[in-house]
Structure 1
């Protein structure tokens, strides 16, 4: 447990804000005067130490969710930081606790107006966990949304112990976590994966049994069949 991040909580904070839709490089601006989020009874206020960017942040900024998004807004889903204030209904966290999590429970339908690319953010107790002591804030912030995606995908696919899996595009955040979850949690018997030539050794280090260079091998032509195929690349209409 770390010491609380200072006794004085400001009324306004710095945050990365977009006030129109477009490419992040064009619309994302640092705003030194963002109102600090109100802390509800079931929430904690977190001093942000590290935050992660995910594809969904870019999608929001280009207007993919504009029906449910309101601007100006601060993007960001994943966070790691220190609790500096707790709501009256919070039971598991106290000031000074180091926590991490994905602050958006319904990230497509109801994304928070002040996301994690700010100095402080408010989040419900139920979406947070204590940061492991052997993990840095940066490492912790990189996990939540990616591991949620990886785990839910394996659950939906019904991967079970003893089955084989082929993972496409494994060297991104979701793909690398799919490999580790498939091995250590779901008990896959054999793992194949695709990547570029320079990353084949990395696949082996993750425990991939059959690493394939997608520039040289077409997985569609493989004589071997797999119980599950997990596409960690994918495409969205309209991008």
Structure 2
């Protein structure tokens, strides 16, 4: 893949663009003629190899963030690829480096004209990290937004070795990373996590001590309460009933107080911090069994993502 670094960089590229708001099947179109903008001093140009989809991509496309968005835009946050050009201030990367990251530093501010679902994309140096050598481009692309959201949320509520945690939505893109980080990075004393019946074994394999079948058990009615509840699905009212007095609820879906709404700041620093856990295999990427789609299947990939049934992540690969 690194050979791409030496190839000629085109002035126009293919990218999946929306020019109005709506669901992907109505508004997402492949544009064969997207202009590549000028590179700023702190940015790198990446030849995209793989890109992951996230619920925030769908929400943005549907117009949830109109006040901080501009259209037309190429969709996509998560990228894995090869550096082909650097701005004059870039110090940590060189041509040919294999990198990954969430290219939106702050998801609701400073929207990108070219997201990751294109042949090339541009990102600030500070949001990127070198791809762990043991991960494929597909695996690397699946991680940034989910693992950074998981890590920053756990850090914000001060999860530590003596604390227990309940993860609501443990089998999703963020939830699978929260379970693993709670165990291997933060060393939680007990990890409970919810999923549907068929995913309970997966939760165990990721490190959950108490997998909870949400189709059969109301977790908020369990006698046991938790120091931390991480709500990855938007069930704040129920989450608040599952937390110990003095404990904390963090949610990635707009909550009611006193839960803490958590919005990530994308940074390559967290990816670098987690590199040893990824390279040792303690923390693993998780791609949905049906979640690998070709570049031409981007609309189908979003349709699948929007079912909210994916286990782990949905990834687009290969990208021409």
| TM norm structure 1 | 0.96
Distance in 2 of aligned mates of 1:45 and 1:37 = 10
Match of 2:40 in 1: 40
Asked if structure 1 preserves the Cα contact closer than 8 Å seen for 2:4 and 2:47, the reply is no
Indicate the SS of the match to 1:3. Answer: helix
1:82 aligned to 2:90? no
Q: Which runs of 5+ in 1 are unaligned?
A: none
Distance in 2 of aligned mates of 1:216 and 1:52 = 32
Match of 2:123 in 1: 123
Indicate the SS of the match to 2:66. Answer: coil
Indicate the SS of the match to 2:224. Answer: coil
Distance in 2 of aligned mates of 1:170 and 1:227 = 17
- How many residues were matched structurally? 237
Deviations 1:190-237 (A, max 9, x none): 111111111111111111111111111111111111111111111559
Asked if structure 2 preserves the Cα contact closer than 8 Å seen for 1:17 and 1:30, the reply is yes
Q: Which runs of 5+ in 2 are unaligned?
A: 235-252, 256-320
Distance in 1 of aligned mates of 2:135 and 2:220 = 39
Match of 2:172 in 1: 172
Moved over 6 A (4+): none
Match of 2:250 in 1: none
Asked if structure 2 preserves the Cα contact closer than 8 Å seen for 1:46 and 1:84, the reply is yes
Match of 1:198 in 2: 198
Deviation at 1:179, TM superposition (A): 0.6
Match of 1:11 in 2: 11
Quote the RMSD (CA, aligned, Å). 1.3
1:183 aligned to 2:188? no
Asked if structure 2 preserves the Cα contact closer than 8 Å seen for 1:38 and 1:122, the reply is no
Indicate the SS of the match to 2:152. Answer: helix
Asked if structure 1 preserves the Cα contact closer than 8 Å seen for 2:50 and 2:80, the reply is yes
Question: Where does 1:1-239 land on structure 2 (aligned, <5 Å)?
Answer: 2-234=2-234, 235-236=253-254
Distance in 2 of aligned mates of 1:65 and 1:215 = 32
Indicate the SS of the match to 1:17. Answer: strand
Relative to its length, the structure with more helix (as a share) is 2
Distance in 1 of aligned mates of 2:192 and 2:33 = 49
Deviation at 1:159, TM superposition (A): 1.0
Distance in 2 of aligned mates of 1:60 and 1:6 = 34
Distance in 2 of aligned mates of 1:116 and 1:40 = 17
Asked if structure 1 preserves the Cα contact closer than 8 Å seen for 2:79 and 2:141, the reply is yes
Deviation at 1:3, TM superposition (A): 3.2
Indicate the SS of the match to 2:2. Answer: coil
Distance in 2 of aligned mates of 1:3 and 1:46 = 13
Asked if structure 2 preserves the Cα contact closer than 8 Å seen for 1:196 and 1:214, the reply is yes
Distance in 1 of aligned mates of 2:57 and 2:225 = 35
